[in-house]
Amino acid sequence: MLTILFDGVAYGMLLFVLACGLAVTLGLMNFVNLAHGVFAMAGGYVTVILMERLGVPFLATLPLAFLAAALLGLVLERLLYRHLYGRSHLDQVLFSIGLVFMAVSATDYFMGSEQRIIKLPVFLQSRVEWAGVSIGIYRSLIIVICGVLVVALQAVLTRTRFGARLRAAVDDARVARGLGIDVTTIFAVTFAIGSGLAGLGGALGAEILGLDPNFPLKFMIYFLIVVTVGGTSSITGPFLASLILGIADVAGKYYVPAFGAFVIYSVMILVLILRPQGLFARPR
């Protein structure tokens, strides 16, 4: 049972790293970006390409996946996304769905439609027995990396000037601009980092999540749930939401495999009935 818990935590933390960029983008620019999964997918495929074609070791591909996805995010933000800030949510939804379709189709064309397997290095494939619990090294690595990222994100947000400016801009962009905060640059940088983190998550978690051109569509609902349940006004909200979702999903698929997929939908409905504004959202 503890193994399930452990795996669930790993899955949840992975989800968090994937979704936190979306949470910040939504909270910051009030932009509903359904194409967030595209950046995760990009990171995953970068890793695949680097490993298969260039023989780069797995761990070394991770920072490159981050950078590639961040760069893609930055380019798209400057070229396309920024024209849509302040447009209606419907427009943003339509736009991002369009991007998803284009990305899915293009990936299918260039990379083929089959699921990609990432061959983990041997040392990551082993498991360790500890206090009666079977712990996978790979999942431990995921937890460690994601844990470090969470702490780093929280530190950046609360202790750096950039973080302070970011929080100000999230709270009220108009006032922040009036205070001389360069909101446009903050948007761009934040979007890039969020996309980069998604890419890192996609690369790191490809073995667990599966990597194929339909990734952005498959995981769209997961990201939406994390952000809606966790709210956009803190890091801890989406973090806890991701953990809950990860554990619930893994446990559900293990204990009641026929209904495993419904667990996340049940979580979604339950939260909505109890707290329509999300479990952790700050009342506005």
Contacts with other proteins by CB under 8 A lie at 26, 32, 34, 80, 83-84, 87, 89-91, 93-95, 97-106, 109, 217, 220-221, 224-225, 227-228, 258-259, 261-262, 265, 268-269, 272-273, 276-278
Instruction: Write down the least CB distance from residue 135 to other proteins, Å.
Output: 31
Q: Indicate the residue among 4 and 94 with the shorter CB distance to other proteins.
A: 94
Instruction: Write down the least CB distance from residue 107 to other proteins, Å.
Output: 10
Q: Indicate the residue among 124 and 220 with the shorter CB distance to other proteins.
A: 220
Instruction: Write down the least CB distance from residue 276 to other proteins, Å.
Output: 4
- Residue 156 makes CB contacts below 8 A (sequence gap 6+) with 162, 163
Q: Indicate the residue among 32 and 183 with the shorter CB distance to other proteins.
A: 32
Instruction: Write down the least CB distance from residue 272 to other proteins, Å.
Output: 5
Q: Indicate the residue among 53 and 83 with the shorter CB distance to other proteins.
A: 83
Instruction: Write down the least CB distance from residue 77 to other proteins, Å.
Output: 14
Q: Indicate the residue among 109 and 255 with the shorter CB distance to other proteins.
A: 109
One-letter amino acid for residue 83 of the chain: H
For residue 156, report the phi and psi dihedrals to the nearest 5 degrees: -60, -45
Tokens of 16: 């968090």
Q: Indicate the residue among 109 and 130 with the shorter CB distance to other proteins.
A: 109
C-beta of residue 225 within 8 angstroms of C-beta of residue 265 = no
What Cα–Cα distance (Å) separates residue 115 from each residue in 52, 107, 207, 215? 14, 12, 10, 10
C-beta of residue 182 within 8 angstroms of C-beta of residue 224 = no
Q: Indicate the residue among 1 and 90 with the shorter CB distance to other proteins.
A: 90
C-beta of residue 195 within 8 angstroms of C-beta of residue 22 = no
Instruction: Write down the least CB distance from residue 95 to other proteins, Å.
Output: 4
C-beta of residue 178 within 8 angstroms of C-beta of residue 116 = no
Residue whose C-alpha is closest to residue 217's, from 96, 109, 114: 96
Instruction: Write down the least CB distance from residue 250 to other proteins, Å.
Output: 17
C-beta of residue 218 within 8 angstroms of C-beta of residue 267 = no
What Cα–Cα distance (Å) separates residue 83 from each residue in 78, 80, 102, 201? 9, 6, 18, 27
